[in-house]
Structure 1
Amino acid sequence: MKNNIVLIGMPGAGKSTLGVILAKVLGKDFIDADLAIQKKEGRLLSQIIEAEGPEGFLKIEEQVNKELNPRQAIIATGGSVVYGAEAMEHLRKIGTVVYLKLSCQAVVSRLRDIRGRGVVLREGQTMEGLYAERSVLYEKYAHVTVEEDGLTIEETLEKTLQALDLLVE
């Protein structure tokens, strides 16, 4: 198995939360790609999107993700990372990509402040449209898919470890 685990999925799927726990359980580093973008840019995601527009943000996101090259890390990506083909190919080379799959209904119920969270929505795009567009890409790039509807974070952790064949006794 590759030495990194890359978490992808819709905003609200729990990538960052699960990533921190996985890092602790497996003794790996934790990288939040959204925080890496904010650090590099010196601004919040929402500020980057507002200033650069969705396409400008996606270029920045792809560049930052292409430059990630950790050893023994859990990487929680932003939900829009799958729009960057070069970044996704890089992440697939350096890690096992896990798609945390959540139904559109569950995503909507988990998200409160979509714009404040830095979710990339184009003008007039609905959450349902965004979900349909991204789901295909998540499936395309994932090595492993973990269905997490109705699961607690502990159950998602266990299911992820099982999917990766890493269940720790």
Structure 2
Amino acid sequence: MNIVLIGMPTAGKSTAGIILAKIIGYDFVDSDLLIQKQENRLLRQIIEQKGIEGFISIENRVNAALRVDHTVISTGGSVVFGKAAMANLKDIGTVVYLKLSYETIKKRLENAKRRGVVIRENQSLHDLYHERCPLYECYADVTIDAESLNVEQLVQKLQELGDDSIKTND
């Protein structure tokens, strides 16, 4: 069983995910880093060279092919645009949406393009947030409202989920 973390950039997927993996003895995969390794380029370089649709296609392919077990998977925020990716991730694990308000995301996310965030030309962060949130909610098996949680509290909530998953599958 795997734990798959989805949500907007800065929601804590990678930070909490790696700590959780250490605590529960799982492996950790950051799918953004996997994409960079396979493509031998930074996310923003892929977006610059292939365009947004090209990047989404690559992200979809990489996540659809992911085969792991007992792993915490931190996905890129745009993974929900890939149907094959999300079908695979739901098949191999419990999908957990780390939910934050738009205001919190805006505060945390200083430069979306430099970070490699998939945001279309003339699309505001507000528009992107409202485009993605229904997809996160649709694909999530579990939603954690992370708004008032610090990293330790978020990891604790995820650990409880991990403990339940481990008990269920043993």
Establish whether TM, by shorter chain, passes 0.5.
Answer: yes
1 or 2, which has the higher helix percentage?
Answer: 2
For residues 141 and 164 of structure 1, what CA distance do their matches in structure 2 show? 18
Equivalences for residues 14-93 of structure 1 within 5 A: 14-93=12-91
The percentage of counterpart residues that share the same residue type is: 54
Aligned equivalents of 1:73, 1:162: Cα separation in 2? 15
**Residue 158 (structure 1) aligns with:** 156
What does residue 132 of structure 1 align with? 130
Counterpart residue number, 1:108: 106
Return the alpha-carbon distance in structure 2 between the equivalents of residues 139 and 82 of structure 1: 10
Counterpart-to-counterpart distance in 2, 1:119 and 1:70: 25
In structure 1, C-alpha distance between the alignment counterparts of 2:27 and 2:35, rounded to whole Å: 17
User: Which of the numbers 109, 118, 121 marks the counterpart of 2:119?
Assistant: 121
**Which amino acid is the alignment partner of residue 94 of structure 2?**
T
Match of 1:13 in 2: 11
CA RMSD, Structure 1 to Structure 2 (Å): 1.2
SS in 1 for 2:97: strand
Asked if the contact 2:3/2:95 (under 8 Å) is kept, the reply is: yes
- Per-residue displacement from partner, 1:1-40 (whole Å, max 9, x unpaired)? xx10000000010100011011001100000000000000
Mapped partners of 2:5, 2:105: distance in 1: 16
Q: Is the 8 A contact 1:146 1:163 kept in 2?
A: no
Aligned residues: 165
Where 1:96 maps in the other structure, the secondary structure is strand
Q: Is the 8 A contact 1:18 1:157 kept in 2?
A: yes
Aligned mates of 1:78, 1:127 — CA distance in 2: 16
CA distance in 2, matches of 1:108, 1:164: 29
Which amino acid in 1 is paired with 2:115?
R
TM-score by length of structure 1 reads 0.94
